Structure 1
Amino acid sequence: MTQPGTMFEAIGGFEPIDRLVTAFYKRVGQHPKLIPIFPEDLTETARKQRLFLTQFFGGPKLYLEDRGQPMLRRRHLPFPITPERRDAWLECMAEALIEAEIEEPYRTAIFEKLTLTANHMMNKPE
């Protein structure tokens, strides 16, 4: 169930999330700093990201139903996430938000929230 007044609702629901994830992984799959920590086939990774972002922005709790509690930091510990890789990830996301035509002020609000999450995921110095 979608909560009224959520970011998910404000940006238009599933379709913008899908556009965002598609645009994002197109970049991740070509980014030299990110390729080493992502699988060659990004299909399942993108599917999980769609579920997560839907839930993260106040939509249906699809990630919880499919994968359980997010526990993002723990799930990402096997991957060396350095400040440089965090920045690369955020660069891909910033470009994807524009390509997916997420309008302001939502684009900035989403990017700020994802920046906090990306900072939390770092687990290794350069």
Structure 2
Amino acid sequence: MTATIPTLFEWAGGTPAFEQLFNKFYDKVLADELLEPIFKHMSPQHRMHVAHFVSEVFGGPKTYSETEGNHYAMISKHLQKHLTEAHRKRWIELLLQTADELSLPDDPEFRSAFMAYLEWGTRIAVLNSQTDTTTESSDTPMPVWGWGVPGGPYNP
């Protein structure tokens, strides 16, 4: 009998875990002196869009790409936001703090994969936020993140 390895999405607790994580996280963001000015005008749906995006990236249902946008849409939301390294680091800090408070899995394997995605995704967000256009194709596939190393630069 072969054991099935759960996705990061399943290991974390599924859709409810990610929706709760990003709901509580954005409460912190809106109370944060550094991040509040950037996020104060976000739509009421923003929290769930991010929860569904990350859920899908981690192997969950395709809720984001089928009903809320695609990877290109997510990239486009960051254009001209002029995010800084300080914004990026604080965003990660608050998200990890929230993950701990909600008892998201804290085993080294999950947290390593989770942290790797946060580093990768936030660095891309900062890069895209410095411009008003993107070189990405409108049909750029959604990222897929798993337990292992994602590969070298520019490898899908």
1:1-126 equivalences under 5 Å are 5-40=6-41, 43-71=44-72, 72-105=74-107, 106-123=110-127, 124=130
Task: Write the distance in 2 (CA, Å) between the matches of 1:42 and 1:92.
Answer: 20
Q: Which has the higher helix share?
A: 1
**Consecutive unaligned residues in structure 1, runs of 5 or more:** none
Aligned 8 A contact 1:37 1:80 in 2 = no
Task: Write the distance in 2 (CA, Å) between the matches of 1:69 and 1:42.
Answer: 17
Q: TM-score, normalised by structure 2?
A: 0.69
**Consecutive unaligned residues in structure 2, runs of 5 or more:** 131-156
Summarize the Cα distance change of 1:75–1:114 in structure 2 as closer, same or farther, 3 Å threshold: same
Larger Rg: 2
Aligned 8 A contact 1:55 1:63 in 2 = yes
Task: Kindly state the Cα deviation for residue 42 of structure 1 after the two structures are TM-superposed.
Answer: 5.6
Q: Which moved more, 1:107-116 or 1:12-21?
A: 107-116
Q: TM-score, normalised by structure 1?
A: 0.84
Amino acid at match of 1:56: V
SS of match in other structure, 1:5: coil
Task: Write the distance in 1 (CA, Å) between the matches of 2:21 and 2:71.
Answer: 20
SS of match in other structure, 1:115: helix
Q: How many residues align?
A: 121
Residues 40-74 of structure 1: CA distance to partner in whole angstroms, max 9, x if unpaired?
46632102112112211110000001223122333
State, as a whole percentage, how many aligned pairs show the same letter: 26
Q: CA RMSD in A?
A: 1.8
